[in-house]
Amino acid sequence: MGFPGAGGATGGDHRADRPGAGRYRQAGGAPDEAIVSRSIDNRIGAYVVAEALRLLAQDGPKHAAVFAVATTREEIAWTGGGARTSAVGIEPNVALVVDVTHATDWPGAEKKRAGEHKLGGGPVLSRGSAVSPVVFEMLAECAEREKIPYSVQAAPHDTGTDADAIYNALRGIPTGLVSVPNRYMHSPNEMVAREDLERAARLLAVFARRLDPKVSFIPV
């Protein structure tokens, strides 16, 4: 199993008093605990993966080995960059990609095009040509069983993430995409909700524990 997280650095201590990130309180406009920083896309994906590993270290899966990878060149090389080479090297039975997606909870957001994804609304699960329908359904079932709120994002062509480089590697790798809603992406003040990070990490851990030799990723 693989958890590729595009981005350069893993996330260590996520406290908001670290340089480059701060707690942000705004009545009606942001969650009680939001993290604001530049380059959250996609350093925060690496943090979510690291947090999932911490949870799995406490209560690991009985039937799966978990590999975590922080990759580079996602946005500058359509050949797949580090995600494809990692997928080929690890040869996972299933891969989960962690990234951010645009939050649409601000005036003027194109909800008809991008869907409705808000800070504090939980992780976003993508569904489309690069995403295995079996992995999507498993993620949704895990979220519902754990009472983790989530929203669904359509990705009919490509996802714009490392999922595009992984799902067709080797003979094909069943791939899922879990994203964190990010407001003001690609600005100096990107914003994510801390509770979404915790929920996304918990979803990854629950998914890993759900795996066993009987699970088939062949769509019925």
94 DSSP assignment: S
74 is catalytic: yes
Amino acid sitting at position 209: R
* 50, 10 contact by CB (below 8 A): yes
Distance, in Å, from the CA atom of 175 to the CA atom of 168, rounded to the nearest integer, reads: 9
* 162, 71 contact by CB (below 8 A): yes
Distance, in Å, from the CA atom of 102 to the CA atom of 124, rounded to the nearest integer, reads: 10
Distance, in Å, from the CA atom of 214 to the CA atom of 202, rounded to the nearest integer, reads: 23
- Strands 34-37, 190-193: pairing kind: antiparallel
Name the catalytic one among 51, 74, 116, 198: 74
Instruction: Please give the positions annotated as active site.
Output: 74
